[in-house]
Structure 1
Amino acid sequence: MGKIVNLFNHKGGVSKTTTVFNLAWMLGKMGKKVIVADFDPQCNLTGMVLGYKGVEDLEGTYKDNPANNIKDALSPAFESKPRQIVGAECIAVPGNDNMLLLPGHIGLAEYETTLGIAQELSGSLLALRNLPGSIRFMLSATAEKYGADYVFVDMSPSLGPVNQNLLMTSDHFIVPLHPDYFSAMALSSLTQVLPRWKSWANTARGIDVLKTADYPFPEPNATFIGAVIQKYRPRNGSASQAFQHWIDQLVAGLRDQLIPSLVKADLLNVNDFKQRTGIDPWEPIMEVADFNSLIALSQEHQMPVYGLTPEIVGRGAIWDQAKASMDIFYKGFEECAKKVIALTA
């Protein structure tokens, strides 16, 4: 069965989308079948993969039956349509035979309120019993349809019901961070939020109505498989002093705040993490500098930042400088992919 891996931080601007794309591409090149699922209603991942400039470009491609986007794939449960949820149709990602896209839909936000009511686990549960388990059911069915090893989920920067459901019904999650004050604050917030979400999931799993629903609520077994720190400015091959200060602060926040709370909530086994990776769980599984101008070229040509060519970047000294950075990015994502494989085996 394909593993569902979420990239989550309720702080925006921490490179969730670019990390999903570049990490999934690397795993595909390493022989893993990967689906990238765009659960952010802004649809940035969908636009990046398909080269679309705006929502109007997407509207003409949506199909309801068989569904080829997240909203329509979930609509049998959320809109009480007279058919069962099945695996969605995915779109091949050009340039990587092992990578597929499950497109996002701006209308996914319409389901947020209904799911929130269902997840209150109140007296209204009977009528809405199929909703809490439907997202995981759809993702698993889609993974099975394509024989995928992984489904990487790009989540929106929020603490809403959809993200709560995604995270607690997943197999694993990664926390992306940016070395600044606001990411340090976000770690403090996640320390409080994630254990509450796990407690909610444990309660939901114990409710008979959800166990016997058409889409049963799964056992909440999500585990933290690392933090990723991106977008710092390098100097002489490593982070500049100002950025290193915040990287040190983030590592301290992971070690002293987030990791202990995850252990207590049974969202992390420290010894297992260390045995699989050789590092402590508060050490980032990847640190990578700002992509700078390469990210614009990556998005324009729907290619990973480490896969650009001289024809795209330019030749001569421009290429030499870009290639040196790309080699560093390639190594970073390759090592991160190896850790992900080890932690999800």
Structure 2
Amino acid sequence: MAFAVSIPRIRSLPIEKLAFGGPMSTRIAIFNHKGGTGKTVSAYNIGWKLTEHGNKVLLVDGDSQVNLTALALGFDVFDKYYEDDSTKSKNIKDGVSPVLEGKPSALEPFDCPSAANNPNLFVLPGHAELAAYEGQISLAQETGGTLSVMKNLPGALQAFIGMIEAQHEIDYTLIDLNPGLGAINQNLFIASDAFIVPTNPDPFSLMAVGTLGNHLVRWMNWKDANFHKFEDADYPLHASRPVFLGTLNSRFNKHASKAARKFDERIAQIDEQVEQRLVPTLQAAGMTAKPECYQRAFDEWKDKLAADNKGLHALARIPDFQGLIHTANLADLPIFKLDDTALKADNIQGIVKEKAVRNIESFDVIYEAIASKIEMLASNDCRI
């Protein structure tokens, strides 16, 4: 497909090559090329739970819809952030613009805002025009470093994220990708150390899981073939091999109905597709953790999670948030942190409140399981 793209002219910058990010930061991409799988809400809730384990966490909003930024900052603060002259340029697009637009200046990190009510959950805000760089990055990756004026482009996003990680001493970075197969997603994916695949109980999610492995391996093959071509760039590629941590079976309707049984069947089919197609494809490319680690993660939490969480590579099955999502948005809190004050503010009382409290406790266990599994599976001990 032909497209018009301006080729930025990048001057040779007198900057010191840095080990961007460093060993403290573990980057995790949350990605499925099928939309509507709950990736943004999952990133926010998982990130928050990881901070409860004593970690500093960075949420990177790589989706031009900017939903993660709005969710984490709170919708009132979100509007002000992009209107205020002191903060509106502190976002992922403007952060990498010196390289992507060929400006005679180096990348520079900035202080990221913290999520509402959580000083250890940082947000690298997204931008609605990030997709405008799709053409430049695509062309730079297609030419594989043969054009010197474009040599810094493929490594710019990862380098900038690394600078932010170093500035805030980040332990885990969660990158929310858009549901597509473009160059920006490829770029962010190959800049990650691990990845999670959110799914939804519908036929399109089932199809997506069946083909996802081929796309991810193709992206990784590009990195393998071209990594050395960018080693002398001011911003080289991230030296990593993304490892599959597991799936999230999200938005499962627990109501006892024919529809719920259908959802249950669909999730079982997704689990089977993961075992028969996705994992073998990724395993052959060296993009999985040690088999015994998946088994240990499953065994350690199988008695604490619902009995219908049967997939070996499923981090957890996440029920529909239903009305609690409204309460959580009002309180600027994740589902599992809702308390009496938050419930009262949303006029949740009586029997409805009793049910809500039980659901909140259940969500706390689910996200505790997810965070604990992530910490184990993403560790060096579980890397092959």
Tell me the TM-score range normalised by the shorter chain.
over 0.9
Paired residue type of 1:150? Y
Relative to 1, partners in 2 of residues 1:3 and 1:63: Cα closer, same or farther, differing over 3 Å?
farther
| Whole-angstrom CA distance in 2 between matches of 1:56 and 1:2 | 29
| Whole-angstrom CA distance in 1 between matches of 2:225 and 2:326 | 44
Matched, 1:338 2:361: no
Question: What TM-score comes out, normalization by structure 1 length?
Answer: 0.92
Matched, 1:134 2:156: yes
Contact conserved, 2:195 with 2:243, CA < 8 A, in 1? yes
After TM superposition, give the deviation of residue 217 of structure 1 in Å.
Answer: 1.5
Paired residue type of 1:224? F
Which structure's CA Rg is the greater one? 2
Matched, 1:202 2:224: yes
Matched residue of 1:132: which SS?
helix
Relative to 1, partners in 2 of residues 1:249 and 1:48: Cα closer, same or farther, differing over 3 Å?
same
After TM superposition, give the deviation of residue 329 of structure 1 in Å.
Answer: 0.6
Gaps spanning 5+ residues in structure 2: where?
1-23, 300-309, 380-384
Corresponding position of 1:219 = 239
Corresponding position of 1:310 = 340
| Whole-angstrom CA distance in 2 between matches of 1:323 and 1:93 | 24
| Whole-angstrom CA distance in 2 between matches of 1:10 and 1:90 | 28
Which of 305, 316, 321 is equivalent to 1:286?
316
After TM superposition, give the deviation of residue 310 of structure 1 in Å.
Answer: 2.7
Paired residue type of 2:59? V
Relative to 1, partners in 2 of residues 1:131 and 1:90: Cα closer, same or farther, differing over 3 Å?
same
Q: How many residues align?
A: 340
Corresponding position of 2:273 = 253
Corresponding position of 1:59 = 82
Which of 329, 334, 339 is equivalent to 2:363?
329
Contact conserved, 1:33 with 1:149, CA < 8 A, in 2? yes
Gaps spanning 5+ residues in structure 1: where?
none
After TM superposition, give the deviation of residue 85 of structure 1 in Å.
Answer: 1.2
Corresponding position of 1:48 = 71
| Whole-angstrom CA distance in 1 between matches of 2:321 and 2:137 | 37
Which of 17, 27, 37 is equivalent to 1:4?
27
Relative to 1, partners in 2 of residues 1:129 and 1:89: Cα closer, same or farther, differing over 3 Å?
same
| Whole-angstrom CA distance in 1 between matches of 2:145 and 2:168 | 38
Corresponding position of 1:74 = 96
Relative to 1, partners in 2 of residues 1:281 and 1:261: Cα closer, same or farther, differing over 3 Å?
farther
After TM superposition, give the deviation of residue 218 of structure 1 in Å.
Answer: 2.4
After TM superposition, give the deviation of residue 312 of structure 1 in Å.
Answer: 2.9
Deviates more, 1:92-101 or 1:121-130: 121-130
Matched residue of 1:230: which SS?
strand
Contact conserved, 2:73 with 2:114, CA < 8 A, in 1? no
Relative to 1, partners in 2 of residues 1:250 and 1:62: Cα closer, same or farther, differing over 3 Å?
farther
After TM superposition, give the deviation of residue 143 of structure 1 in Å.
Answer: 0.7
Q: CA RMSD in A?
A: 2.2
Relative to 1, partners in 2 of residues 1:204 and 1:281: Cα closer, same or farther, differing over 3 Å?
farther
Contact conserved, 2:201 with 2:251, CA < 8 A, in 1? yes
Matched, 1:22 2:45: yes
Which of 107, 121, 136 is equivalent to 2:129?
107
Contact conserved, 2:47 with 2:174, CA < 8 A, in 1? yes
Which digits, 9 at most, give the CA deviation of each residue in 1:130-163, with x for residues without a partner? 0111111111111110111011111111101000
